[in-house]
């Protein structure tokens, strides 16, 4: 399934997520843009769910370091959502692996109208 | 060595409201203390007498509650913020730190110009649980007057401990306090500190360690929206300390200018009226407020601030929040503002320029942490080393590696480059610096600083003379989660 990922040149973690997605069978186009915010607005990512990079797959937005397993579940079920978001840059999420530790995180789902709900919980 | 605590009384909290105390007066734990100590247990203020400051701080976990449920807060002497410490230039300072935490801790005397070695501002020492350490140093007779900051600097735990509540403001009395118009002002120290909610859910919603943890509960001296009083015609000297882990404060007082008279390292030359004042973690400022408006109530506001460049991350709040409320009470003959303060001399021409580039990245070094790499897992480990963290010039903090060697007495320009997607407040220990330019624009006025905000994608040029004290110290990001995640370097002054 083709994924297009948009990131700024200076961000030090977005490439790690692209590698994670490729390792999980996604064909990822890695695009460097001057202003990621333009992409976020176009895809309707709520500001409070923002992370560093933003991607598109099959008409869904993927914000931040969303695990590939969550993306696969999204594509299987095709729920009426605008996309998934992992806000911020949690340590231990895909592309954010660190010897400094791991953080629990929640992948959020959002709709075209901006309704937000929990999609999956990931323990430490 | 240590004395067991007797926790007789820790009161719960009400919900937010005008003047609701959160952690200050309510969290007080009666300590069983040795009779040799002159200061009463749990005092809000500890001061020097006769040229000697004999102080004690007990770091401890204290049960209390926050809106949403019970919480364990970290306190000095049962308080968060800890007691206000007040000393004079020229004093001998003896400060016993007793560690009643379950983890090691230590102290950093943020902003003081004292040795980085021995029993002074030595952040490389560590006080184990149950242990104690006697810090001891003398402040120079000409040490600038100012508001300084005592907090833990235990690498890997600094953010947890400061975010948990450990901090004390330290006032050094001296030159600035003798200016008549300043001396006539009514003085209030305001420690600005956010706390996590009892559930801690905000971290799971993205404002975690990589961005630096913020809490939704804003307190001033441990209270939610405390009242401040000013007489009509009067002058109020607000002494502001950002003791938060990562939160920025963009301050404005309704209807009033904030007249800046001092920055981190002491007085500026000429008072400077400001509509708003931005304080990064670790920064301080003294401002004068004139009671020259229609008597009434005016809110001290924290205006929204975006600290992650253009990306929308960490946009925790999109509306102003009230920190405190200023109310008019009584009338006095109008007090004037000072016309001039204390000259800030230009530093000598720099002998060299160094460049420090801050960013987050997958690291290759060990970063001073001896973790089991097997615990990391995941595809990112193909890159080896520490995995994700923060770096200066491509290297994460390593306590045994000297990154920068400077000559005692020399002057240097440091170009601090933020090549990251989020802001980094840069802090240098022991020697104050002057900001020469930000993003290529020269500064309007010389000021003594020890912490300067370097916004995402920007560059700041600072100038510093390494005076008086040889030894090993550090420079780092004062978003303390970033410091703990590697954004720190070791400086050897020799």
CATH code of the domain containing B394: 2.60.40.420
- Among B138, B160, B175, the domain-final residue is B175
Instruction: Tell whether B86 is covered by a domain.
Output: yes
Shortest Cα distance, chain B CAs vs residue A89, angstroms: 6
Q: What's the mean pLDDT in A65-74?
A: 98
Query: For residue range B397-454, what is the model confidence (pLDDT) as tens digits?
Result: 999 999 999 999 999 999 999 999 899 999 999 999 999 999 999 999 999 999 999 9
Domain termination residue (choose one: B119, B144, B175):
B175
Interface test with B, best of A88, A102, A123 (most B CBs within 10 A): A88
Q: pLDDT band for position B314 (50/70/90)? A: low
CA-based nearest residue in chain B for residue A7: B311
Phi, psi at A117, each rounded to 5°: -145, 165
Minimum Cα–Cα distance from B383: chain A residue? A16
Per the domain annotation, does B311 fall within a domain? yes
Q: Both ends of chain B: CA-CA distance in Å? A: 36
Pick from B412, B141, B434, B436: nearest CA to B268: B434
Does B128 score more than 90 pLDDT? yes
The pLDDT of residue B376 is: 39
Q: Let me know whether B170 and B185 are in one domain.
A: no
Q: Which two tokens stand for residue B361?
A: 């990245």
Least confident span in B130-144, B151-165, B193-207, B327-341: B193-207
- Which candidate from B208, B378, B379 shows the least CB-CB separation from A103? B208
Judging contacts by C-beta atoms under 8 Å, the chain A residues touching residue B380 are 16, 19-20, 94-98
Reply yes or no on whether the pLDDT at B103 is more than 70: yes
Residues of B in contact with A99 (CB under 8 A): 367, 369, 371, 373, 375-376, 385-387, 389
Residue B423 to chain A, least CA–CA distance (Å): 13
Domain count, chain A: 1
Instruction: Residue B335: name the closest of B289, B393, B391, B401 by CA.
Output: B289
- Average pLDDT estimate for B136-147: 98
Interface of A with B in 15-74 (CB under 8 A): 16, 19-20, 23, 35-37, 40, 45, 47-52
Give a yes or no: residue B11 inside a domain: no
Query: Is B388 close to A104, i.e. CB distance below 8 A?
Result: no
Domain that includes residue A108, residue range: 2-122
Residue A12 sits in a domain of what CATH number? 3.40.30.10
Do B107 and B246 fall into the same domain?
no
Mean pLDDT score, A63-91: 97
Choose the final residue of a domain: B124, B140, B175.
Answer: B175
Q: Say whether both B89 and B132 belong to one domain.
A: yes
B7 lies in some domain = no
* pLDDT for residue B195: 92
B356 and B272 assigned to the same domain: no
Share of chain B above pLDDT 70, in %: 84
Is the distance from CB of B57 to CB of B76 less than 8 angstroms?
Answer: yes
Residues B71 and B126 in one domain: yes
Contact A100 B209 (CB under 8 A): yes
What total of structural domains would you count in chain B? 3
Its domain, for residue B60, covers 20-175
């Amino acid at each position: 399934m083709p994924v297009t990922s948009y990131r700024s040149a200076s961000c030090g973690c977005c490439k790690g997520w692209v590698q994670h997605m490729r390792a999980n069978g996604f064909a990822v186009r890695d695009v460097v843009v001057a202003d990621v915010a333009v992409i976020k607005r176009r895809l309707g990512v709520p500001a409070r769910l923002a992370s560093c990079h933003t991607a598109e797959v099959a008409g869904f937005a993927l914000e931040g370091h969303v695990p590939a397993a969550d993306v696969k579940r999204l594509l299987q079920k095709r729920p009426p959502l605008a996309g998934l978001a992992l806000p911020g840059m949690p340590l231990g999420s895909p592309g954010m692996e660190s010897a400094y530790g791991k953080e629990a995180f929640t992948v959020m789902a959002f709709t075209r109208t901006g309704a937000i709900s929990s999609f999956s919980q990931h323990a430490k | 060595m240590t004395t067991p605590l007797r926790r007789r009384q820790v009161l719960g909290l009400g919900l937010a409201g005008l003047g609701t105390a959160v952690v200050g007066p309510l969290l007080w734990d009666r300590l069983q203390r040795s009779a040799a100590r002159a200061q009463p247990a749990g005092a809000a203020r500890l001061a020097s007498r006769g040229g000697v400051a004999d102080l004690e701080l007990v770091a401890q976990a204290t049960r209390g509650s926050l809106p949403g449920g019970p919480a364990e807060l970290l306190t000095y002497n049962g308080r968060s913020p800890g007691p206000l410490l007040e000393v004079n230039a020229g004093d001998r300072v003896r400060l016993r730190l007793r560690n009643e935490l379950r983890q090691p801790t230590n102290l950093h005397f943020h902003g003081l110009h004292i040795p980085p070695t021995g029993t002074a501002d030595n952040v490389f020492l560590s006080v184990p649980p149950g242990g104690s350490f006697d810090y001891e140093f003398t402040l120079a007779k000409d040490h600038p007057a100012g508001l300084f900051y005592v907090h833990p600097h235990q690498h890997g735990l600094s953010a947890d401990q400061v975010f948990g509540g450990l901090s004390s403001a330290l006032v050094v009395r001296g030159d600035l306090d003798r200016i008549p118009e300043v001396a006539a002002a009514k003085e209030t120290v305001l420690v600005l500190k956010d706390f996590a909610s009892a559930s801690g859910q905000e971290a799971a919603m993205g404002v975690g360690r990589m961005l630096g943890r913020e809490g939704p509960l804003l307190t001033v001296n441990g209270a939610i929206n405390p009242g401040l009083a000013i007489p009509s015609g009067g002058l109020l000297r607000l002494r502001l300390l950002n003791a938060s882990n990562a939160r920025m404060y963009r301050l404005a007082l309704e209807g009033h200018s904030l007249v800046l008279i001092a920055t981190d390292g002491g007085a500026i030359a000429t008072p400077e009226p400001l509509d708003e004042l931005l304080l990064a973690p670790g920064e301080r400022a003294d401002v004068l407020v004139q009671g020259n408006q229609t008597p009434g109530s005016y809110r001290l506001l924290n205006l929204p601030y975006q600290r992650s460049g253009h990306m929308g991350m960490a946009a925790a709040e999109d509306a102003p929040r009230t920190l405190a409320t200023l109310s008019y009470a009584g009338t006095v003959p109008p007090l004037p503002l000072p016309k001039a303060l204390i000259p800030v001399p230009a530093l000598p021409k720099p002998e060299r320029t160094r460049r420090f580039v801050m960013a987050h990245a997958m690291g290759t070094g060990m970063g001073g942490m001896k973790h089991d790499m097997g615990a990391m897992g995941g595809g990112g480990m193909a890159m080896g080393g520490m995995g994700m963290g923060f770096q200066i010039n491509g290297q994460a903090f390593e306590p045994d590696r000297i990154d920068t060697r400077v000559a005692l007495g020399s002057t240097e320009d440091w170009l601090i480059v933020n090549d990251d997607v989020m802001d980094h407040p840069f802090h240098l220990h022991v020697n104050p610096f002057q900001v020469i330019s930000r993003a290529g624009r020269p500064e309007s006025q010389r000021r003594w600083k020890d912490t300067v905000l370097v916004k995402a994608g920007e560059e700041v040029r600072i100038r510093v003379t390494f005076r008086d004290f040889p030894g090993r110290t550090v420079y780092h990001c004062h978003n303390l989660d970033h410091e703990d995640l590697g954004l720190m370097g070791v400086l050897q002054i020799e």
